[in-house]
Amino acid sequence: MFEFFIARRYLRAKRKQVVISVITFISVAGVAAGVMALVIALAIENGFKTTLERNLLGATAHVSILEKKPGPGIEDWEQLAQKLAKLPHVVSATPGLYESAYLSGPVQGEGAEIKGVNVAPGSAIPDALKHLKTGSIDGLRQDEGDLPGIILGSRLAQTLGAVNGKTVRIMVVEFAGFDLQPRFKTARVAGIFELGFYDIDSHWAYMSLPSEQKMFGLTNVVSSIDMMLDDIYAADVVQHAAEPLIGPKLGASTWKEQYRQILGALKMERIATAITIGLIQFVAGLNILITLVMMVMEKHRDISILMSMGARASQIRNIFVFEGALIGVSGTIIGLIAGYTLCYFLDHYKLIPLDEQVYALPYVPFSPQAFDGIWIAGAAMAVSLLATLYPARNATRIAPVEALRYE
């Protein structure tokens, strides 16, 4: 195209246009920096969100059936779990018994959350128990008379000084008349898991459901029925489908409700990040505006000659629109390539470490999404094209006779 050919020639460096060439380079760099920064920032947000969802839901459930009021526990859970397992999108419905306890090891003691799970052959296994460093789930399937088995998180085991095959002591509070008396019971370390999430690895442990019920003096009751789904975003549908089955004393809670504060904070942080880094794109747009304004001033003689030769106002306008588009396309492509490449290497080699006790993760996760790249590129191009409107319009207002009068 005629307009595209002229626009491409104008953007080439010449001795008389060093300043314009430098500003053009800065404009391309500004667009690229804004695109790259936004890709990396959103990749970090997605990485934290995805990692938190995976680790938290791997330890808990997508939909949990709980008591509406604190009570002795859910009775007749076997029949209810069978009914819930038949609902659409439900992969498994398993019991969970949650008890807080104080564990004592060879080195020191530490509070922990012990979850009793069904470890019978063929039953669904929690995701955390699929990440065993030592031991096996078979260690929880004890024979009668043996010490009950317990699987500890890696950080918890390190704090206690516990190793696979040795024992730890669990303090259980029991009623003795009208008083509460602590009792220490012994459990055998059947394995150590590492999920990669600090809060889980440092404060969680697993036992078989019958062993935990016996240790804490409970009947055949559970704290919750945990449902895992084939699509975590179908949790609301499953919640509504489960309510007629569970009765008035129980309630269904989705993972969105349980982690509303964390997810809300991540969402607000994502919006704030997009707005803040989007200002870089605004600055890049101003650079493009300045570049084109200076180019219109520099090329007024050329524009006059083109108009005298028959170039229409729309063609003159398109020349400068194409110049802004070329700057925007160049910067956007460079920014996308640099952003996604950096995200890959930073995530693959775990180059940015974190304090696990503060952030719950050992390193910054990067999870760039293709859709983010599409809308970031669209936004960058929109800003670039908007910046061309004013100088392109001014270019069409040049009067050839006035511009060439003294030439």
Q: Is the pLDDT confidence value at 84 over 90?
A: yes
Nearest to 250 by CA among 58, 62, 76: 76
Residue 144: pLDDT band with limits 50, 70, 90: low
Q: What is the maximum span of the chain, computed from C-alpha positions, in angstroms?
A: 111
Coil vs helix vs strand at 389: helix
Of 127-131, 202-206, 239-243, the least confident = 127-131
pLDDT tens for 230-243 read: 999 999 999 999 99
Residue 405: pLDDT band with limits 50, 70, 90: low
Nearest to 317 by CA among 253, 209, 223, 389: 389
Q: What is the mean pLDDT of residues 72-76?
A: 91
Please answer whether residues 270 and 42 qualify as being in contact, where contact means their C-beta atoms are separated by less than 8 angstroms.
yes
The Cα–Cα gap between 55 and 153 comes to 13
Most confident of 145-149, 303-307, 337-341, 397-401: 337-341
Q: Are strands 179-193 and 149-153 parallel, antiparallel or unpaired?
A: parallel
Nearest to 294 by CA among 195, 390, 187, 174: 390
CA angle in degrees (0–180, nearest 5) for 172-173-177: 140
The Cα–Cα gap between 24 and 284 comes to 10
Check residues 87 and 274 and name the one with the higher pLDDT.
87
pLDDT tens for 162-172 read: 999 899 999 98
Please answer whether residues 228 and 125 qualify as being in contact, where contact means their C-beta atoms are separated by less than 8 angstroms.
no
Q: What single DSSP character describes residue 155?
A: H
Q: What single DSSP character describes residue 130?
A: G
Nearest to 389 by CA among 312, 324, 301, 309: 324
Burial code of 95-108, b = ≥16 C-beta within 10 A, e = fewer?
A: bbbebebebbbeee
Which pLDDT does position 388 carry in this prediction?
92
Q: What is the mean pLDDT of residues 144-172?
A: 91
The Cα–Cα gap between 204 and 72 comes to 22
pLDDT tens for 49-65 read: 888 888 878 778 999 99
Which pLDDT does position 236 carry in this prediction?
95
Q: Which helix (H) or strand (E) holds 328?
A: helix 313-348
The Cα–Cα gap between 403 and 218 comes to 96
Q: What is the mean pLDDT of residues 307-333?
A: 90
C-alpha neighbours within 13 Å on the C-beta side of residue 284:
33
Coil vs helix vs strand at 327: helix
The mean predicted confidence, pLDDT, of the chain is 88
Of 35-49, 121-135, 228-242, 272-286, the least confident = 272-286
Q: Say what angle helices 313-348 and 2-10 make with each other, to 10 degrees.
A: 60
Residue 298: pLDDT band with limits 50, 70, 90: confident
Most confident of 8-12, 336-340, 352-356, 384-388: 336-340
Name the token pair of 54: 């995976």
The Cα–Cα gap between 238 and 31 comes to 45
Find tokens 């609902």 and name the residue.
87
Check residues 161 and 16 and name the one with the higher pLDDT.
161
Which pLDDT does position 367 carry in this prediction?
94
Q: Say what angle helices 370-395 and 313-348 make with each other, to 10 degrees.
A: 150
CA distances to 15, 42, 257 from 271, in Å: 44, 9, 21
Q: Which residues are registered as beta bridge partners of 170? A: 103, 185
**Could you give the percent of the chain with pLDDT greater than 70?**
94
Please answer whether residues 198 and 357 qualify as being in contact, where contact means their C-beta atoms are separated by less than 8 angstroms.
yes
Which pLDDT does position 132 carry in this prediction?
94
Which pLDDT does position 288 carry in this prediction?
87
Torsions phi, psi for 168 (to 5 deg): -130, 160
Please answer whether residues 24 and 10 qualify as being in contact, where contact means their C-beta atoms are separated by less than 8 angstroms.
no
Q: What is the mean pLDDT of residues 389-404?
A: 79
Please answer whether residues 218 and 74 qualify as being in contact, where contact means their C-beta atoms are separated by less than 8 angstroms.
no
Which pLDDT does position 133 carry in this prediction?
93
Which pLDDT does position 35 carry in this prediction?
93
The Cα–Cα gap between 284 and 215 comes to 65
Which pLDDT does position 177 carry in this prediction?
57
Q: Is the pLDDT confidence value at 102 over 70?
A: yes
Name the token pair of 211: 């062993």
Which pLDDT does position 402 carry in this prediction?
65
Indicate yes or no: pTM above 0.75. Answer: yes
Q: Which residues contact 281 (CB under 8 A, 6 or more apart)?
A: 31, 34, 35, 38, 379, 380, 383
